[in-house]
Structure 1
Amino acid sequence: MSNIIDDIKREFSKSENSLVKIILINTAVFLVLLISKIIFTLSQSSGIYAWIMNNLQLPASTTEFLYRPWTLITYFFTHDDIFHILFNMLFLYWFGRLIDEYLGAKRVVALYLLGGIFGGVIYMVIYNILPYFQPHLEQSRMLGASAAAFAVAVGASTLLPNYTFNLIFLGPIRIKFIALFYIILSLAQTVGPNAGGNLAHLGGAFVGYFFIKLLQNGTDMGKPIYALVNLWSGLFRKKPSMQVTYREKQVYRSTSVYTSTASSATIETPDQTEIDSILDKISKSGYESLTKEEKQKLFKASQQK
């Protein structure tokens, strides 16, 4: 047990490990809720578990939402079914690693959070303005990371539409077709029993597409998210130690400096020779053969077009 805890701490200590951190947070919340559900059910206090879930799920009613505004964030870290979280986390990992490799860890976080938030907003807006959903307004609740995962998936498909996944029984399939299939599926189910969740999927897909398109044109939608994450991280970051050196009755004070690996923003724009070399490598060995720096250079070059 201690080894597992140590492994988790080690993963959270890594600065460029945002995708794994998101998956670990979702898994931890699920396990805590699962244990709570078992305990409260066996003790015949299931009402307490219902109250907890009610404060984590996103309500469709704007009136109810005003009393629990935090649910716009908590809902996409909350799952109560093993297959729901398993599918969402696998979906997130498969596509999220591409965003991580090509654009850096911070953009995985931005896509996940923006997709979840916008998906939740779309869900509430449509339930409150379309007469079809009015009879279900007060009873409707939403939970799960599907909208956030959709944003990451569609973002990756927009960035690398011809990248292929090898699927069991189907073989290699371009990820743009995988994303398109799930978008059509969600669209078809917007009038089904899980209409709210599928509306949120479409909201997340919208964010994923426009996030990448704007980024390729030089506009980064994630800047407010980066600022908030840095502020939040700064609250828990240890202050650098101060060292005092005495020399000839003079005092010199120096503070330790934190360094981090370069993000895609620090990658220099490659020249045509480098681009040709990278493209040749892709034609011979595929996208998977590129290093992270080469992938980021390729994306940097695409922004200059």
Structure 2
Amino acid sequence: MPPAAPPRTDDTQDPTVVNQLQSWYYRQPPALRVILAINVTVYVLAQFLRVLWPGGLAFIVDHFALHATFPDILLEPWQLITYNFMHTSAGFGGLLHIAFNMLWLFWIGREYEEMHGSDRMWTVYILAGIGGGLVSLLLMPLGIFGNPNIPIVGASASVLGVLMAVAILYPYKQIALLFIGVVRLIWVVIGFLVIDVLINLGSNSVALTAHWGGALSGYLFAKAERGGMNLTGWTRIFGGGSKKKRGRRGSKKGESLGLLGRLEVWLGGNPNPDPDSGSTSPVSSRSASSSSGSSKTTTSSKEDEVDRILEKISEQGYDALTEEEKRILYEASQD
């Protein structure tokens, strides 16, 4: 009886989970995918260090979490930024902390970045985190908003800043909540902040001041956006900051990769993949292009109109838009 044939190991099998995850990762807009990657990497690293090298984890928390006390913060001011990328808590509670932050950022932040560009996404995320840290520095010494000896970690301030900015820029934006139904995003943010006060006020929680500071920063950022103020020049270090039209994906071909884009290339990735590229032959590509030409033309015209409206906001402010332009921008945000 002949031996059984060995199992097939060719490349025609279904892609692995790792390949699927990598494909999903590079389909995300640039700023969002880097923010997600840093937060998840730090979380996983913290869990390993907790078991293998507790002293290393303690060193990271001592120098990169936010210690809301003076004059210590003056010696390590980078804590105002680095704490926004740190989720170090253990157990199920720590997992829920990062999971909810990253899911909300993905649900709301992805759409915002595709509409307004990676530079604005970086700006609101970083500024909201800094704002949350500064409010904590001002209020924590009072002793009624938490214990100043407990370091602050987590992206909640930045995430709330992004949510608030989107809620102010798009006041009619709605989301569906389990067991509640469809509600406006602004009421979701306000409801969270109110519940946050009821739960944490008078306790040792250090999150309250950072949450409210992040939301306030997002509000101020949105107001500045609507007023035509450009706060994104510093994002050139990340590959953003262009004042030219970017399209809904927030990037241009030939644009500088920036610091984080170069890091992705060094790690072997492709930070700016062409979503239409693949292994299709030129003949099949022309055939597909021909069959879907009309739909692509329609989509392109809509994107051009959205780009024009966004450019008008950048130059004249949100209040300069006509009612029809506001309607087009709102409908585009729902696509």
TM-score relative to the length of structure 2 = 0.64
Separation of aligned partners in 2, 1:181 and 1:291: 34
- CA spacing shift, 1:50–1:104, aligned 2, 3 Å: same
**Would you say 1:126 and 2:139 are equivalent positions?**
yes
TM-score relative to the length of structure 1 = 0.69
Contact 1:158-1:176 at 8 Å conserved across structures: yes
2:129 aligned residue: 116
1:284 aligned residue: none
- CA spacing shift, 1:39–1:164, aligned 2, 3 Å: same
The alignment partner of 1:142 has SS state of coil
Separation of aligned partners in 1, 2:118 and 2:134: 25
**Would you say 1:88 and 2:104 are equivalent positions?**
no
Separation of aligned partners in 1, 2:261 and 2:98: 30
Separation of aligned partners in 2, 1:22 and 1:102: 18
Q: Which amino acid aligns with 1:106?
A: D
Q: Which amino acid aligns with 2:166?
A: A
How large is the RMSD of aligned CA atoms in angstroms?
Answer: 3.3
- CA spacing shift, 1:195–1:294, aligned 2, 3 Å: farther
Structure 1 residue runs of 5 or longer lacking an equivalent are: 41-45, 239-258, 262-289
The alignment partner of 2:64 has SS state of coil
Contact 1:78-1:144 at 8 Å conserved across structures: yes
- CA spacing shift, 1:87–1:7, aligned 2, 3 Å: closer
Q: Which amino acid aligns with 1:178?
A: V
The alignment partner of 2:206 has SS state of helix
1:35 aligned residue: 48
- CA spacing shift, 1:291–1:39, aligned 2, 3 Å: farther
How many aligned positions are there? Answer: 247
Contact 1:150-1:204 at 8 Å conserved across structures: yes
2:85 aligned residue: 77
1:207 aligned residue: 217
**Would you say 1:59 and 2:67 are equivalent positions?**
yes
Q: Which amino acid aligns with 2:160?
A: F
Contact 1:76-1:143 at 8 Å conserved across structures: yes
Q: In the TM superposition, what is the alpha-carbon distance from 1:89 to its structure 2 partner? A: 0.6
- Higher strand proportion (structure 1 or 2): 1
The alignment partner of 1:107 has SS state of helix
Q: Which amino acid aligns with 2:320?
A: Q
2:195 aligned residue: 185
Deviation string, structure 1 residues 67-88 (Cα, Å, up to 9, x no partner) = 3322222111000211110011
Q: Percent identity?
A: 27
**Would you say 1:24 and 2:37 are equivalent positions?**
yes
Structure 2 residue runs of 5 or longer lacking an equivalent are: 1-14, 89-93, 241-255, 263-271, 275-300, 322-335
Separation of aligned partners in 1, 2:164 and 2:61: 29
Q: In the TM superposition, what is the alpha-carbon distance from 1:133 to its structure 2 partner? A: 5.9
Deviation string, structure 1 residues 62-117 (Cα, Å, up to 9, x no partner) = 23223332222211100021111001111111221231232122211111011011
1:219 aligned residue: 229
1:304 aligned residue: 320
Q: In the TM superposition, what is the alpha-carbon distance from 1:4 to its structure 2 partner? A: 3.3
